[in-house]
Structure 1
Amino acid sequence: MAAAAGMSALAMPGMSLAAQSLVVNTYGGRWEKFWRSDLMPMFTKSAGVDTTLDVGLGKNFVANLRAAGVAKPPYSILMVNENIASLVRAEGYFEPIPAAKVPNLANAYPILRNPDDNGVRGIVSTIGIGYRKDLVKTPPKSWSDLWSNPEFKGKIGLYQIGNTAAMLFLLMTAKLYGGSQDAIDRAFVEIKKLLPFTQADWSGTLSTMLTRGDVTVAVIDFPEIVALQKKGVPVEMVVPTEGVLAFEQSFNVLKNAPAKEEAYKYLDFILRADVQEMMAKEFFTSPTNVRSRLSPELAKDVPVSGERMKSIFQFDWTKVNPQVAAITDRWNREMK
């Protein structure tokens, strides 16, 4: 079966076989390592559920789902970016999450719970502005400073439109300058004013550009800036006054899940306050549980938590998805 590719069992010795095995999807690299060494053993011990890890990319997971069909999904719960999840949700794969089955859902920040609890954003990596302290005279405080500060001209780093962060930046610009995420034309007009700017395929490339001084200011996720700081690169991160963007990992329960009860247990585990704190320490993500607490030292590396979670821009992906192809084509033609 296509969904079996990249899966490996994580059975624990002496574990009861009463619970059904749960397929858990995650990404490669540090994510896979953390899931294998920390999260899954901890989940198995606390919930008594055997797990099989499926490592890949969002497109792989969605392809597995579509190959199997709505009636026989290979997953019981799926973690993907919310913009991707919204596509699959529209195809009828997911169903609302019953709060009684997932007690920690009540502790998730309200803005992270989808309408009717049809999905919840359980892992959040915020995006703001990063800049070189030694190369910038007037540090930015807001998104508007990217347009108004002349020393940034020709020194701005943005994501390529194939990266979700570029679409987020476009939609935010539409809201800020056009009053609505629907003001796409206005967003293009405003972003073109930032030209010339350098575009990167992913955060690691932006980090390299900042390190070399190719760009002095960038739209970038905060964990990347923290990583650079720990390497000694003179960079700083800014939480813009207007709010922040975010990569949001959406957790969704499949309508015809083969192990639905186990899926509820896993989601409840992911949303636990202590698990969210663990992920903050590992990935510098923003805890999605209102009861999570960060040490003062860690809070410096995770600038968006607590009350600041309300500052994350939210968008309606059901409106955006039909326009993605046209927006991508237009961006590639005009942003040169």
Structure 2
Amino acid sequence: MNLNRRSFLAALTASAGAFSLSSRAFAQSPFIIPTYGGTWAKFWEETLVPGFAEATGIQGRLDVGLGKDFVSKIRAGGAASPYSVFMGNEHIAALLRAEGFFEPIDMAKVPNATKLHEGLLNPGNSGLRGIVSPIGIAYRTDMVETAPKSWTDLWDNPEFRGRIGLYQIGNAGALLFLRLTAKLYGSGDLDIDTAFTKLKELAPFTQASWSGEVSTSLMRGDIAIAPVDWTEILTLQDKGAPVEIVVPEEGVLAYEQSFNIVKSGASKDDAHAYINYLINADVQANMAKVFYTSPVNTESVVDGDLAKRLPIVGDKMSRIIRFDWDPYVDIAADVADRWNREIG
């Protein structure tokens, strides 16, 4: 992350729109910002939180954890949530939304939301997807003779048999792949019976709980091919690994981080300002450099060299296969239990 932080922050201060230099110079108490660990926490601590403070005057304090941790704290907080903003995969956000913990975004307070690519603002303004990490088919170039072109190649190409890696059900990637399988082979993306039948046809396969495990399995040669996000594969390529990733003919899946206003949060104005800042065009472009994510803002500019490595940017964001997670809420627990019993 060799960034010109001073010039970057100065540009963001000028472009933060309605929230530049809030009338309250600094918050009476810190605004709690949930985020993930590792590189995420480093970027938030060193770049995003200072930039947010400089652009808005709002002091943020990080709470580093996993989506499940944020969910537990919101549920435990009841009428006094420790968070005013939630960050987590959209399928997790749908659970909390169904339980009544969120309220619609006040669009007047998030002007950058009008610049989002289509499909990233939820119906009724009930949250938006502010960070997008596309998932394609990754493979070892020295272990695969025929590069995949379609998701169905995982079933149809015999050289992949017994050499496939998949996510475990606790990872959003597993749910995305399950619903994709239902869409490809069943009556629709909620045809779970057909999805399980088809998944069993891929056995035996290696399961991983997170993308780093997929990378490790690829590098050890335990697997030759797997659905995985661009972030992980481009990072491996940076290290000289013999891996490639493709956009399947049908389109890509994507980890989509959902940002929502917590109904019982004490700092909702700060939460709106934070979401507005996060989806700022320059912030999104900078995150693409660090995480290889696809900018959600239509005005974000990705430079030529990086754009060549990120095929899902700009108009190509339409190639993301998305699912409605609200109707999935009622079957989520049963699907997880069935996966553990039948897939292992």
Which residue of the partner structure matches residue 269 of structure 1?
277
Contact preservation (8 Å) 1:21, 1:259: no
Which residue of the partner structure matches residue 156 of structure 2?
148
Deviation (angstroms), 1:76: 1.4
Structure 1 residue corresponding to 2:257, chosen from 242, 249, 258: 249
* Amino acid aligned to 1:298: L
State the distance in 1 between where 2:120 and 2:126 align: 11
Which residue of the partner structure matches residue 196 of structure 2?
188
Greater displacement, 169-178 / 256-265:
256-265
Deviation (angstroms), 1:238: 0.5
Give me the TM-score of the superposition, normalised by structure 2: 0.90
Measured on the aligned residues, the alpha-carbon RMSD in Å equals 1.5
Greater displacement, 278-287 / 89-98:
89-98
State the distance in 1 between where 2:81 and 2:58 align: 19
State the distance in 2 between where 1:260 and 1:335 align: 42
Deviation (angstroms), 1:255: 2.2
Structure 2 residue corresponding to 1:74, chosen from 60, 78, 82: 82
1:203 aligns with 2:211: yes
The verdict on how the C-alpha distance between 1:272 and 1:19 changes in structure 2, with shifts beyond 3 A counting, is farther
SS of residue matched to 2:184: helix
Contact preservation (8 Å) 1:141, 1:241: yes
Deviation (angstroms), 1:280: 0.6
Contact preservation (8 Å) 1:104, 1:272: yes
1:319 aligns with 2:321: no
Give me the TM-score of the superposition, normalised by structure 1: 0.92
SS of residue matched to 2:119: helix
Residues 117-146 of structure 1: CA deviation (Å, up to 9, x unaligned): 110000011111001111111100110111
Contact preservation (8 Å) 1:19, 1:262: no
Structure 1 residue corresponding to 2:67, chosen from 58, 61, 64: 58
- What is the identity percentage for the equivalent residue pairs of Structure 1 and Structure 2? 54
Give the 5 Å matches for 1:165-184. Answer: 165-184=173-192
Structure 1 residue corresponding to 2:97, chosen from 89, 92, 102: 89
State the distance in 1 between where 2:332 and 2:105 align: 28
Q: Which runs of 5+ in 2 are unaligned?
A: 1-23
Aligned residue pair count: 321
Contact preservation (8 Å) 1:132, 1:234: yes
Which residue of the partner structure matches residue 9 of structure 1?
none
SS of residue matched to 1:248: strand
Deviation (angstroms), 1:316: 2.0
Deviation (angstroms), 1:175: 0.7
SS of residue matched to 2:228: strand
Give the 5 Å matches for 1:5-154. Answer: 16-17=25-26, 21-69=30-78, 71-154=79-162
Residues 83-139 of structure 1: CA deviation (Å, up to 9, x unaligned): 111111111121111221111000111211101111000001111100111111110
1:237 aligns with 2:242: no
Q: Which runs of 5+ in 1 are unaligned?
A: 1-14
State the distance in 2 between where 1:195 and 1:60 align: 32
Deviation (angstroms), 1:20: 6.1
Deviation (angstroms), 1:65: 1.1
Residues 292-313 of structure 1: CA deviation (Å, up to 9, x unaligned): 1111211233221112211212
SS of residue matched to 2:294: coil
The verdict on how the C-alpha distance between 1:18 and 1:211 changes in structure 2, with shifts beyond 3 A counting, is closer
* Amino acid aligned to 2:70: F
The verdict on how the C-alpha distance between 1:75 and 1:173 changes in structure 2, with shifts beyond 3 A counting, is same
State the distance in 1 between where 2:171 and 2:264 align: 31
Deviation (angstroms), 1:328: 2.1
Residues 145-164 of structure 1: CA deviation (Å, up to 9, x unaligned): 11111111111111112211
Contact preservation (8 Å) 2:37, 2:64: yes
SS of residue matched to 1:111: coil
Which residue of the partner structure matches residue 268 of structure 2?
260
State the distance in 2 between where 1:308 and 1:115 align: 22
Contact preservation (8 Å) 1:19, 1:50: no
Which residue of the partner structure matches residue 7 of structure 1?
none
Which residue of the partner structure matches residue 14 of structure 2?
none
Which residue of the partner structure matches residue 170 of structure 2?
162
SS of residue matched to 2:321: coil
